[in-house]
Amino acid sequence: MPIYEYRCRACGHSFEDLAPAGREHRPKCPQCKGREVERVLSVFSGGPRKKAAAPAAGCKPGGGFS
């Protein structure tokens, strides 16, 4: 199974997770338990494809969510 990189839309946390082939996989964010995550496809290509999506104002990647 391939490993994909995901990014949480809520807190901006990036993480990796296994993606079962042929299925829509929606892991939860390990940091804030949010389910608004999007898959990042730039892991193997070396070229950022979705980095243009700037995080929302007030969203601090890696910052404490509490």
Residues that bind Zn ion (CB under 5 A): 8, 10-11, 13, 29, 31-32, 34
**Which of 55, 43, 46 has its CA nearest to residue 6?**
43
In the bound state with Zn ion, the residue whose beta carbon lies nearer, of 3 and 56, is: 56
- Nearest to Zn ion of 45, 66 (CB atom): 66
CB of residue 48 vs Zn ion: minimum separation in angstroms? 20
> Which residue, 13 or 40, has its beta carbon nearer to Zn ion?
13
- Residue 30 Cα distances to 45, 52, 59, angstroms: 25, 23, 16
Token pair recorded at residue 64? 């404490």
